[in-house]
A and B are shown apart, each in its own frame.
Chain A
């Protein structure tokens, strides 16, 4: 079993839609949960992170961790064409960053 799993999509939504991106992880001991955004032909950039459990909000983005079900979510409100990118969840495992497969999102005007 992979340490973190993510549905690769692709996901296509109209502008203004609410987007939900999800990952599952295998070990309840994991503490740091991150979301990276990667534009085409660029390196990943950290978008948000949460430590332990709960929600974290930054503008139109909300990161959520449900430790009871080992589920990580990223919500994007009022999605914009500029949000079109690949979104990767990541966890820390003994100082290493382990990534999910990434979900490619397209927001259509």
Chain B
């Protein structure tokens, strides 16, 4: 049982480049989330998807787009990367109860 799988684990981008972070879960959860983690800031919610076909903005959505491709997959896209988007990105999936939340191992993104 893999849980939540994120790809890639590491990425370096140049300012203005685009990329998509991938997330997949095998727990049949309805809800999936994207967070970013910066020093001293904790985890901040970027976007979430309460169910297949729906997405909503979180606390820091600017500069990002998401796609809930199917129940398993939730991707995060940076259309034009900026240095301020240098961060560690975590995907999470949540089951029936809010306490049934599982996180991926993170994607470390550097924008130069």
Contact = CB atoms under 8 A, between A and B. Distances in A.
In this complex, the interface size class of chain A, counting residues with CB under 8 Å from chain B, is 20 to 34
In the complex, which of the residues A6, A100, A102 has the most CB atoms of chain B within 10 Å of its own CB atom? A102
Interface of A: 6, 8, 32, 34, 41-46, 49, 88, 92, 95-102
Interface stretch (B12-20, B67-75, B93-101): B93-101
Interface of B: 4, 31, 33, 35, 40-45, 48, 50, 58-59, 90, 92, 94, 98-99, 101, 103-106
A99 B33 CA distance: 13
6 contacts: A6-B42, A41-B106, A96-B45, A99-B43, A101-B41, A102-B42
Contacts of B106: 41-43
A92 B104 CA distance: 19
